[in-house]
């Protein structure tokens, strides 16, 4: 990570990553490609894995793969 980013507090880096999740979820679905880019950004920002997992959990209902699985199984939260 560049020195100028090292000085940015973890909470600020988490806010940036949260904004990335929000932008990708604007269409109510986060694709696997979008998720991969978020992972790259998280790595570049040196976000700890447990913090990334917590953010991912905040947006879990927006992941396209989870939405598809719910449609197939008829699980609660599916858009049928």
Structure tokens at 62: 């927006």
Q: Is the separation of the CB atoms in 29 and 62 below 8 Å?
A: yes
Which neighbouring-strand residues pair with 30?
63
Structural contact between residues 21 and 59, judged by C-beta atoms closer than 8 angstroms: yes
Amino acid 76: pLDDT: 66
Q: Is 31 left (phi over 0), alpha (psi -120 to 50) or beta?
A: beta
Encoding tokens for residue 48? 């700890």
Pick out the chain residues at pLDDT < 50: 80
Residue corresponding to tokens 């990570």: 1
Say what the pLDDT of residue 68 is: 66
């Amino acid at each position: 990570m560049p020195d100028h980013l090292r000085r940015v507090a973890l909470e600020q880096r988490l806010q940036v990553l949260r904004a990335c999740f929000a932008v990708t979820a604007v269409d109510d679905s986060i694709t696997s490609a979008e998720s991969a880019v978020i992972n790259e950004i998280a790595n570049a920002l040196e976000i700890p894995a447990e913090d990334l997992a917590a953010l991912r959990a905040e947006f879990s209902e927006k992941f396209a793969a989870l939405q598809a699985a719910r449609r197939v199984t008829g699980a609660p939260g599916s858009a049928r």
